[in-house]
Structure 1
Amino acid sequence: MKYREKKKAILLLEDGTIFYGKAVGDKEGTAFGEVCFNTGMTGYQEIFTDPSYFGQLMVTTNAHIGNYGANNDEIESDSIKISGLICKNFSYNYSRPAADKSLLGFLEENSLFAISDVDTRALVCYIRDNGAMNAVISTSVNDVETLKEELKKVPSMQGLELASKVSTKEPYYFGDENAEYRISALDIGIKKNILRNLAKRGAYIKVFPYNATQNEMAEFNPDGYFLSNGPGDPEPLTEAIEATKDILKTNKPLFGICLGHQVLALANGVSTYKMHHGHRGINHPILNLITGKGEITSQNHGFAINREETEANPDLEVTHTHLNDGTVAGIKMKYKNVFSVQYHPEASPGPHDADYLFDNFFDAIKASRN
């Protein structure tokens, strides 16, 4: 491959800190978003297409990105959802036979601006010390003052409702219509591998928009309900919270993941808060308080639920806790077949330690039928 003359680029954080790098490919550009980092060694394509990352500038901590190319089957939604990519070494060549194209080609198809040659080790340390914040990546290296003014206009992730940006506009179906079970899923940023995990266990799923009511979801005559993952602050999702309250009145099984976990907590009167820099990676340690077993999990969230309020709630029980910082990683309702987790049992990417949670959901559905 011929030598590429890389264009200079910068990363400007909202506190004025600057990191320097190079533009990926021949594209000049600018992209805004909340800067965050993911510690996964693999799975970059799934990460880039995860709706939970909508509106974020993704820093990949693995030193090499793009070396195994891109595969059309390794996506979690219909398009790239991150607002921009920041990495150390970007591989223009790839060596995996199963790849359909280079990562550069995949990024160009999705019009994503990316920068490389950034000291990502120093950047991640800075985020860990100072917290996630808004930022801009750009090739306008000589116009920093203008970038600062534009960056001031970017809204904070706290208080930002983003589910409507990634949710389906119309209901759709997934799986075999002759399957044994029916599930109504609320799409507040759902990943395809969640639907695959539900379908392979014998479910026919109807996926509803973020603002669907419980009455609309009930018309499918579901055996259970599902609240998906998704981006942004959970507290502005008033319609999803109200729908969840109504779902709880039906006494049918309910399973929530990530943003869905937070929505379930809010429906039970438990508040949420923005974390310092969030959990994003595929090696997060979780303790299952019911079984006493540890799990290595895939995580992606910048908000969490209040532990004191959860423990004080007579209807809730903490079932999982994050071993790094003690945040609540799972809850269940004491008197209903309702539970949720603050991580991704469907992995994609990540380990499969927690896929038993899907089995638990179907066990609850079977029990509710008797």
Structure 2
Amino acid sequence: MNTHITVIGGGLAGLTAAIAAAETGVPVKLFEAHQTLGGRGRATPPPHVAHEGAHVFYADGPHYTWLKKRGFVAGLGWPGPTDAAKVGFRIDGRIRRLPSVGMLRAQSRKWLQAPVDVDFHTWATERWGELAATQVANAISVVTYDADTGRLSAAFVWDLFQRALGITVPGVRWVRGGWQQVVDRMIARADELGVVVETGARVDTLPTGGPVIVATELDSARRLLGDESLRGTGGFAALLDIGVRKDRRDRFVVFDLDEAGFSECYTAQDDTIAPAGESLFQLQMPVRDGESRDSAHQRLELFADAVLPDWRSRTTFQRTATAKNRTGALDLPGTTWRDRPAVDRGDGVYLAGDMVAAPGMRGEISINSALAAAASAVTDARRASGARTAVPDGEASGR
């Protein structure tokens, strides 16, 4: 072919788009501004392998089907029965084994259909009371990274809550080695397919001569395309990674119903990401409107005091960070994923990433939008070359 597809951005969305397009036989060039590929899927080097945020997959959507078919999520890890039983809920400053009665009632109402045009707090308060509405919203902040999840669309929050904390067993999957393992496999597949990759190559001008998939953060895409409409709503959270010497008092997972924090032990299902005899935890705390990052980190450390007894005296590794607009799109009342920036920007330009018009949550949006972008870009490239059109496997609707 005399036409190739250009992918700008080498994170999860960019790698997905490049692989999906290259699998059809269309030449692909990928440009990444950083020296390494992977975007937010990258992790710290061993012995403590820590990610920028929660690194789990949900096996209930087309994104996972696509990943699994290619072996990208092979080698799953599972918490043992002892660890799996150590789930807790922070209520009124104490760690309890069960959530509140109000939250249990909400969990049992899977059949309810929440409205798009009403905020979740208002809708849930009418059914279970204000306290339960706040606790449910705080519980699902693990997904949104938002200190006021109740302000979001009721339909959006309710879907997330039922997927992650509903009465149906959630389809959570942990890949041993974390997302870095998945990214490494995707990089190897792209290389196998002949994708031409240039790292340390920042693109400031939109390339010509073929379809282009812009798989960057939305801010970068807005600047590159000169399109001020490319904006979205995202979360903002303080993060704390802690490696500690093991203690039987440590819990596997804790949902903070008081302040929307969250804690998870990733070595419970993957002992390769920390030295023997140690546990690696990631904790998060959404930053409140107008709150300083220092204040959010102070609240996060107080949360750590509650879930990891004597953690300071046991610490072998520690890393702090903040994550702003890095958790996928959040839908405000009156909007759905279809109202986000469209994948198809016209004139052979396509958008992929976690804040564009594709279904799913977090990184699922990146994968699903990338598959939709790749399918359209392949059609354009083959049409320009007069070749037969082939659709990338696993195309998701995001147009």
Instruction: State TM-score, norm by structure 2.
Output: 0.27
Which of the pair has the greater relative contact order for Cα pairs under 8 Å at 6+ separation?
A: 2
Compare the two structures and name the one with the higher strand fraction: 1
Compare the two structures and name the one with the higher helix fraction: 2
Instruction: State TM-score, norm by structure 1.
Output: 0.29
